[in-house]
Structure 1
Amino acid sequence: MKLGTKSCGFARQFLYEFNEDAERVSSFVFSTKSHWRIDFPSALILSREGNAEEFGIQAIEQFKGIGDYNEDCVFFENIIESLYISEDFDDKTLIKDSRGSKHKALDIFGKFLRILFDYACHDMSECFKLGALKLSEIKWMLMIPSVRAGSGVQAFFEKAWNEVFRNDTCTRENLVIVAFPDAALTYYLYLPPEQCNGICIDKIRTGERVMIIGFEDELDSFNIYEKKENWEFKQVVNFLSGASSKCLMMKAFDSFFEDLIGSWLWKVGKENCDDLWPDIVTNIDLLNESKMDKECMVTLSSRFCCLNEICDKHTNMTVKQILEKSKFASSIRLRRYTLRVKSSLIKTLIDKCLSKIINNIEHVLPKSDKEVTTLILAGDMARSGLLIHAVQTAFPSKQIVVSDTANEAALRGAVLFGHQPIAVSSICSGAQVIVAR
């Protein structure tokens, strides 16, 4: 299970599936229409009795329906992110609901875990064909971000889990916590060469070093591992960037539109045109994963004209007239409802993010006293065609490995880690060391 600041979900695999085809892992990530393309906002509705009624995007939609004055429910939003930022993982930590009342964070997190647990159990029971599902035989993996490995969040989640399942000894004791890079590495170890650019990670030589570049919810992580005997790996370098590349890219485009039509109009437009920003983000994702011709015009929004009424009301100008006065006018076309932009301008915005990634890799590689032969990409941006090209260009002597399912590498890898843990000697203070079976 993954309980993150920007996405939550679960993956599963039965033992017989693992034995037949280890790479065949089923996964489910909760989706939403959030402005920032957050897959699973940390929102939750609790009833007066303290039961979890809804969570995620369902909670937000439900809360809009019941309003702030309903006495039967309270609403929490962004509580995971708030707790991560505060780094206050004490048992007595309190968080506020929408009414300002305080609740024990440990209890609220326990309800999140229980909801994910119930979803996963329901999914498995629907697919289980070999008899009754026995909860006592299920091993539960909780995948946490790199920045939290060795921090108080691990003990915090364990306490929340233990409290939820205090009357279920088997489930309580069947929890294993694994960090993002360890899980991602496990996933790639099981993939055949045809899914890894012809490279078999499982066959790398003893003493050889690889770097896992993880594009995680909160930040990018750069971890170098050395292959030891069998399936043992030693983490020799751990480096975390200041912010996630995906968030930086979205902020760059957000700033671009502020410059394009004015920050106030852009803010009002996003608030009043619900589909405008998600539509743009979707197109950015598609462009990011493609190979763009520098001279072509590409679609950045098919709903841009929804701003016409707002512009006319507040500026007495149409969107088209505002764009014609912009410093980007020569690189932009507005045709009916569609905003078209020169790909060279889009690449300028994306390249700032890519340059940061390349600079971080260049910064981390010398920290290893042995050559790193292979760069493995995992996480949200890993499948970006522009990113892969940039990494290949900057590091032509390195093997670059990225799977078509790299965006879920850590989530699926956590499941494989549960079946067959790899031995990882972590340099993170207090982080769990898993012993291979």
Structure 2
Amino acid sequence: MSNKPVVAAIDFGTTYSGYAFSFGYEFQVDPLRISCTNHFHTRSGAGMSLKTPTCILFSPDQRFHSFGYEAEEKYSDLLMDEEHEAWYYFKRFKMILYNGQDLKRDTKWQASNGKPFPAIKIFSCAIEYLVNHMLSTMDGKLAGVKRDDVHWVLTVPAIWDDKAKHFMRTAAEMAGIKGENLSIALEPEAASFYCKYLPVEKLSDTGKSEISCFQTGKRYLVLDAGGGTVDITVHEVLHGGHLRELFKANGGPWGGTTVDKAFKDFLESLCGQQTLAKFERDFKDDYMDLLGEFEVKKRTVSPELDQKVTLKIPITLHEAFQDNHGRSFREAVAERYDLQGKLVFAGDKMRVEPSLMKSFFQKTCDTIVGHLKNLFSKSELSGLSIILMVGGFSESPMLRHAIQTNFPQTRVVVPNEAGLAVLKGAVIFGHQPKIVSSRVSKYTYGIGVIRHAQSDDPPEKLFQESNARLMCKDTFSKHAEIGQEIEVDSKLGGLTYCPASEDTKYLKIALYTSTKKTPKFVDEDGCTLLGTINVKLAKHGGHERKVFVRLMFGGTELGVEAIEVKTGKVTKAFFDYLE
């Protein structure tokens, strides 16, 4: 249990972000008593929302200006006044961390104005905004709550690597959250925790009256479909309600934004790459409005849709097409034989036939279904008969229909608040961080070492020490294997290492991951350097100053324990992955 009076979670999503919190005394009475009310003003103050868009705006001097709906509104005004070029605007920037191998502390990303901007500052300012907003909201419920009175939980996709998780922790600490007051929750796990506490009537499935997902011995797959990624974990329920992960976290970049991408590709096929680029560059506000309207309309698309969907096409797109092609956009579309009866214009409206709207979901749904079929074919997942769908994209009737149709023998369960399951579950995780008893390693972990040469070592790796011993460099010393089940709070792979020379003051421990079970060298394909730490050695003892090294799998993050054998001195640390 958390020793703080409050647990608060920040769900940092690809498309939308939000927060929720609960007090310790509330959790004891009812774990589902979680505060998650309408806090965010929508654009133009038209209403209030549980979440706000994941977009952020910085002024020309790179100072934080606004986040969410406020950032959208301000940037829209700047666009209309043609004053946006000097400002730094980022939208849906979370996906940049999906492949985080090249992340460094000083990594810079390109803003909307084409200029580089510190990546860590984008995330730290966004987190700081959400923290301050939440403290202000919380103050209305219990005055005087301070930042250090709260145990904070940040959500991340389970498929992210250790470097991306560490990046988020670093950003949160830069935002003023103390490391000891911060936990990282894996999104599909968090959603599972929330659903575990829901009463039966709050879950819906394919018409079956009895729902027993969380009975002891049950195995179920969590499909967390968000805006950017589809994140999948597989759990078995143990005695006492604890969960065991059966298969390594997996998934891919197949979230709801891929449907938007299909629509943008369709627009490009209509008007051409040059015209669409000109429209986006010169009329950015209209471009954003068109995509925003599609975002709203796509939520209404279901397999039963039998009426045309109307989208307002800005006049500026017609003008851009006319400038580039010397003819009318309407006439060009009307001449497309493959679109006869599927697309018509009425004034400034484009009427889209139902089958065409549904087609924007096809590739995404096919990819997710194909991935699930591959998972269900694996022997480790035998006995799996339940799919628990969570995340905002799981609320799409098109995705739900695709899953139910392709897995008719599997129970598909969707909570009423699928889009809030991760956020509320992260609060529960903050109160009960030990609910998962074991996880499956996504990688093989090892330390880069120099060892005595072997007969099959490549010549380019060999060298002689001063005492004429033949050594081999860049070798992979394995501590944990991909697919290995690892208990939470365990310490694995205890191995002893010695310094390379007698005058070495620090033993540098470099941690690598590999997608292979038994890599031999750290520079093989599939190997990645995660980070390093330095262990200070005793002054005397030469080569015999041994260090015993174990990896610490304490939860969702990886640490290291190094014990100097001679002195018994223990060094515990998280690797710095951003050097």
Same fold (TM over 0.5): yes
> Which stretch shifts more, 403-412 or 23-32?
23-32
Q: How far apart in 2 are the matches of 1:135 and 1:239?
A: 32
Once the two structures are superposed, residues 238-290 of structure 1 have per-residue CA deviations (whole angstroms, 9 ceiling, x without a partner) of 35334224232222222222223433334444553342232223212221xx3
> Which stretch shifts more, 390-399 or 344-353?
344-353
Residue 203 and residue 80 in structure 1: after superposition, are their counterparts in 2 closer, same or farther (change >3 A)? closer
CA contact (8 A) 1:8 1:30 kept: no
Residue 173 and residue 357 in structure 1: after superposition, are their counterparts in 2 closer, same or farther (change >3 A)? same
CA contact (8 A) 2:249 2:440 kept: no
Over the aligned positions, Cα root-mean-square deviation in angstroms equals 3.6
Q: Which residue of 2 aligns with 1:187?
A: 194
SS of residue paired to 2:204: coil
Q: How far apart in 2 are the matches of 1:391 and 1:44?
A: 38
Q: Which residue of 1 aligns with 2:344?
A: 333
Q: Which residue of 2 aligns with 1:413?
A: 425
Q: Which residue of 1 aligns with 2:361?
A: 350
CA contact (8 A) 1:143 1:177 kept: yes
> What TM-score does the superposition give when structure 1 sets the normalisation length?
0.81
Deviation of 1:133 after TM superposition, in Å, equals: 2.6
Find out whether 1:292 has 2:414 as its counterpart.
no
Letter in 1 for 2:126: F
Letter in 2 for 1:342: E
> Which stretch shifts more, 224-233 or 265-274?
265-274
CA contact (8 A) 2:313 2:348 kept: yes
Once the two structures are superposed, residues 122-171 of structure 1 have per-residue CA deviations (whole angstroms, 9 ceiling, x without a partner) of 11112x15x533544322111111222x51233333344445448xxxx5
Larger Rg, first or second structure (1 or 2): 2
Deviation of 1:402 after TM superposition, in Å, equals: 0.8
Once the two structures are superposed, residues 301-358 of structure 1 have per-residue CA deviations (whole angstroms, 9 ceiling, x without a partner) of 1336664444444445433322210121232222233322221233333233222221
| Percent of pairs with identical residues | 22
Once the two structures are superposed, residues 183-224 of structure 1 have per-residue CA deviations (whole angstroms, 9 ceiling, x without a partner) of 110111122111211677776332221000111343212211
Residue 147 and residue 230 in structure 1: after superposition, are their counterparts in 2 closer, same or farther (change >3 A)? same
Where structure 1 has 5 or more consecutive residues not aligned to the other structure, the ranges are: none
Q: How far apart in 2 are the matches of 1:312 and 1:179?
A: 49
Residue 362 and residue 30 in structure 1: after superposition, are their counterparts in 2 closer, same or farther (change >3 A)? farther
Find out whether 1:383 has 2:392 as its counterpart.
no
CA contact (8 A) 2:153 2:427 kept: yes
Q: How far apart in 1 are the matches of 2:166 and 2:230?
A: 23
Find out whether 1:117 has 2:131 as its counterpart.
yes
Q: How far apart in 2 are the matches of 1:259 and 1:43?
A: 30
CA contact (8 A) 1:180 1:410 kept: yes
Letter in 1 for 2:292: P
Once the two structures are superposed, residues 350-384 of structure 1 have per-residue CA deviations (whole angstroms, 9 ceiling, x without a partner) of 23322222111111112234211210111121011
CA contact (8 A) 1:379 1:406 kept: yes
Residue 312 and residue 217 in structure 1: after superposition, are their counterparts in 2 closer, same or farther (change >3 A)? closer
Q: How far apart in 2 are the matches of 1:277 and 1:313?
A: 22
Find out whether 1:303 has 2:313 as its counterpart.
yes
1:218-257 correspondence runs (5 A): 218-257=228-267
* Higher relative contact order (CA closer than 8 Å, sequence separation 6+): 1
CA contact (8 A) 1:182 1:424 kept: no
- Structure with the higher helix share, 1 or 2: 1
Residue 212 and residue 14 in structure 1: after superposition, are their counterparts in 2 closer, same or farther (change >3 A)? same
Residue 93 and residue 225 in structure 1: after superposition, are their counterparts in 2 closer, same or farther (change >3 A)? same
> Which stretch shifts more, 55-64 or 150-159?
55-64
Q: Which residue of 2 aligns with 1:278?
A: 292
Q: How far apart in 1 are the matches of 2:319 and 2:110?
A: 36
SS of residue paired to 2:308: strand
> Which stretch shifts more, 239-248 or 185-194?
239-248
Match of 1:143 among 128, 138, 155: 155
- Structure with the higher strand share, 1 or 2: 2
SS of residue paired to 1:133: coil
Where structure 2 has 5 or more consecutive residues not aligned to the other structure, the ranges are: 1-9, 44-50, 443-551, 557-579
Deviation of 1:117 after TM superposition, in Å, equals: 1.2
Deviation of 1:80 after TM superposition, in Å, equals: 4.9
Q: Which residue of 1 aligns with 2:181?
A: 174
> What TM-score does the superposition give when structure 2 sets the normalisation length?
0.62
Letter in 2 for 1:362: K
